[in-house]
Structure 1
Amino acid sequence: MRKINQILAIAFIMLATVSCKKEERTSEENTVKTDSTTVAAGPRIVSLNGAVTEVVAALGHEKEIVGRDVTSTFPESVKDSAKDLGHVKHGMSIEGIMELKPTLILGTEKDITPDLKAKIEGSGIKSVTFRQEFSAEGAKKLIADVAAALEHTANIKPIQDKIDTDLAEVVKFKKAPKVLFIYARGANMLMVSGTGTPIESMIQLAGGANAVTGFADFKPLTPEALIKGNPDVILLFESGAESVKGIDGVLKIPGVGKTNAGKNKNIITMDGGLLTNFGPRTGEAAKGLNQLLARNAK
C-alpha cells in the first residue's frame, strides 16, 4: 500500500509540474515583449487621424490604442494612454510606429504621405486607410468604416444617430451670417479659408455662409481679402487666437477693424479638433458653432 501511495504522489507532482509549465507557456504566448517592458497581447492600434481616434474611442476600443498622431487629442485620456508619434505629414517615422508592435494601423487618405503609406504597407502589419468626406453623412460613414476595420459587431447606430439629433437643434437664420475663418499660428502666419475646406463645411452645417468664395483651400490673409469678404463674424481655433494674443490681438490684424465683424467685435473661437474632425462629435460641433453665431451675428 505504501508503494502505491508513493507512486501516486510522484504522479501528482509530475502532473502539477507539467500543468505549471503549460500555464507559463500560455502566458508567454499571450504577451508581447517591447524594448523595456512586457505587455499583455491583444489588439494594438496605431491611429494616425484625430477623427479616426475619436471613432475608435466612441466604439469602446480606446484602451487598444497604443500610438496616435498629434491631431488625436480627444478624448483627453488618449493623450496620456497612447504615445504621441508626431505629425503624419511632418516627421513621423515608420520606425516609431513599429516600435509599438501594432497589430492594426488606421489612417485617412488625406493625411498619410505616399512614402509613409508605402512603408506601412510594406511592414506586413494590417492597415486600413479611409476616404473621409467632410459632411454629416461622411461622419456616419467613417464610424461604420472604422467599426468594420475593428471587426466591431456591437450596434453603432446610437453613435450615428446622435449626429442627427444634435443637427436637429441647429437654429436656422433668416439670413446666413458671413463667417471668415482665419488659421493663425502667430501674427506672421495667418491663412484664410476659401472653398472646399472642412471648416467651410462646418460653417455651412452651422447655418453660416463662407465669407470668402473667390478661391479654394487656404491662402495667406491680406487686408484686401478681409475687407472684400466683409464678414459678420470671424472664427478662429482657440489655439490660433492664443497665438495672436487673444481677441484683442485678432482685432489688431490689419483690415479686421474695417469689417462688420471687427467693428462689432464679433470674434469667436472653438476647439480645432471639434470643428474639423468630422467624427462622432460632428453634430455637437455644428450646434455649438450655431449657438455662437446666433449670439454674435445680429
Structure 2
Amino acid sequence: MADHEKLDPIDFRANAEIGFFGGFDSGFSLQVESLSAYSAEFEEVRSRRLPDDEERIVSRLSFTGLDAMRAVQRSYMSALPFDLTFGDSSEVVAEKLGAGPFRKGKSSTLPEYSAERFEHSHAVGDMVVIAKYDADLRLMAVYLMQADRAMLKAKRRKASFPKHKIAPGSIDKVEALRDKIPTPRWRESMARGDGLFNEADIAAAETALNVFVDTVKAATSQRDAQAIWAAVKDIVLAINEINDRSGMIETLERDELGVLIDAVVRASGFILPDDEDVTAQWREW
C-alpha cells in the first residue's frame, strides 16, 4: 500500500473514508470499519494506533481488473496475491489458493453495463479470498478479507472433534427432540390463514429436519463428532434453499429452528459454548 500511494496520515485517513487510492480507476481499493463495527464481526485486532474508538480498521483489500462499468477503468498493475493473474480460470485460482470454494454465488450486476458475474469464496489460512469472475469464469477481481469470528471458531472446532464426548447412550435424548420439530405449529398457522407458509415447503422442511435427527442419531451411535457437525451444515443449507423459495423463515421460525438444532447437537454429547450459534457459519435466514 505504501508503494501504491504515498500518503501522509491525514490524506490516508481521508482516502480510507471513501475507500479508494490513486483515483477511482486505479484497480486498488480498501474498505475500513470503525473499531466497534470490526470487533462485532471479527476477532480482536492485532495492533492499535489510536487509544479511542476513532480508529479505523482495514477489513477488505480489493484488486480489480478491467471492468465494463467504467470505460477508463484500468487493471491493478502490481502482482496479485497468491500469484494470481487476471484471466485465470476458476480451476487455476483454486489450485493456486490450495483450496476449493466453500461458497459460490452470482455477484451484483447492472444489466445496462455488465454481463453476468460470479463470485467464489475460498478459505485460505485465517483469510477469506473472494474471486470475482466474468461470464466465462475468468478472474476479473480479487478481494481479501479476514475470516470472521464464526469461521475461525469453525476452524478451531474441527481440530477439537476428538475431544467431544459423544456417547451411544445419548441416542434416546436425541430422538426425544423429534417432538420439538416446529412444522406442526407452522401448519396450524397456515390453517388460520397465515400466508407466510405453504404445504410443499413445510413438508420439505419437515423431511429435512427428520433426516437431521436420524443422521445425528446414527453419528451418535458411532461416536462421530465430525458427522454430527456435517449434519448441522446439511440441515442449514436445506433450510436456506427452502427459504429462498418461500421466505417463510422469519424471526420466530429462525428461533425455533436454532433452538432445535442446538438442542439436538448438545444431546449427542457434542460440547458447545453457551453463546454459540451452531447455524451461523452457513445460515442465510
Q: TM-score, normalised by structure 2?
A: 0.28
Structure having greater relative contact order (Cα 8 Å, sep ≥ 6): 1
Q: TM-score, normalised by structure 1?
A: 0.27
Of structures 1 and 2, the larger Rg is shown by: 1
